[in-house]
Each structure stands twice: as structure tokens, then as C-alpha cells.
Amino acid sequence: MTLSNNQKRKMKSASRLYAVQALFQMEAAGQTVEAICREFEDHRFGAVYEGDEMAEGDLETFRGLMDGAVNNQAAIDQATDRALVAKWPIARIDPTLRALFRAAGAEIDAKQTPPKVVISEFVDVARAFFPDGKEPKFVNAVLDHMARELRPDAF
């Protein structure tokens, strides 16, 4: 079965959301990246909750984000800290946003997707978690700063 470009795009978008959820759960429950990836790949991708079917994720995108976020967490957290206001180190921000910045930082750092696309995608993820808040604008500003630092060649 050949997937359309639109289907592939939706699967990559779903994988970004799943990566944020997985990174959040990993931190909250102290689980290993291997265990959390197995759980998401086996039980979350395409699962049905209360009649709503979850989107199918793109395994390559999901695993790439998870590996990048875990293996480069210190560097990503440092870049995030530099993008945050001095009074708000990464340890003090919402754990969902911390997971989002780690996943987005991993994708920016991988240099396979244009930074503007990564920022737009993760602002959409922020909207999914914080539909009525100011967080999407905050995410946009922080990711823009991170992308300009990590990928100055792309601007």
C-alpha cells in the first residue's frame, strides 16, 4: 500500500504529538526509552479510546525524535534554557512543555526538516495540549530562538 503525501504528513504530525506524550510519561514515571517506545508503538499508535481512533504514527519519525531527545537531552535543555527568560530555567516550566521542547529540539538538531516546519508543527502540538492558553505563542518564541541558535544556516 502506497501512502499519499498527505497521509505521510499526518503520520509525522501524529508522531510528534506521541513523542511529546512519551517523553512526558518517561520523565513522570521514570521509564526507559525502550519501554516507553514499545508501549507507544504497540498500544497507542492507531488505538481507539472512547470511540475516537488515534492517528497512526510514523515509526521512523517517532523513534528519531525519541532517540534524539534522549541522547542529546543535555544540549537541548541548555539551548532551551538560553531561549527562556532568565527567571524560568527549564526545570521550572510545565513538564509537558519541557517534553515538547526536547522533541522539537531533537528534530531541529537532526537537520532533516526545515526549522520553520518544525516550529509550526510543534506550535500545533502545543495547541493540542493548551487549546485556550498562551503556551502556543510561548512555544513559537522559544523554538524560534532555539532554531536560530542550533541552525543559523537555515535562516
Among the residue ranges 12-21, 80-89, 100-109, 134-143, the one predicted with the least confidence is 80-89
**pLDDT tens per residue, range 129-139:** 999 999 999 99
What's the CA angle centered on 92, arms 149 and 44, to 5 degrees? Answer: 85
Task: Judge contact between 45 and 12, C-beta under 8 A.
Answer: no
Written as one letter, the residue type at 142 is: V
**pLDDT tens per residue, range 26-70:** 999 999 999 999 999 988 887 777 677 677 889 999 999 999 999
Task: Judge contact between 83 and 142, C-beta under 8 A.
Answer: yes
N-terminal to C-terminal alpha carbon distance within the chain: 37
From 93, 154, 92, select the one nearest 118 (Cα to Cα).
Answer: 154
**pLDDT tens per residue, range 64-102:** 999 999 999 999 999 999 998 766 777 788 999 999 999
| Number of Cα atoms under 13 Å in the Cβ half of residue 49 | 6
Which domains does the chain possess?
Answer: 5-154 (1.10.940.10)
0.85 exceeded by the pTM? Answer: yes
pLDDT score, position 118: 97
Region of residue 56 (left: phi > 0; alpha: psi -120 to 50; beta: else):
beta
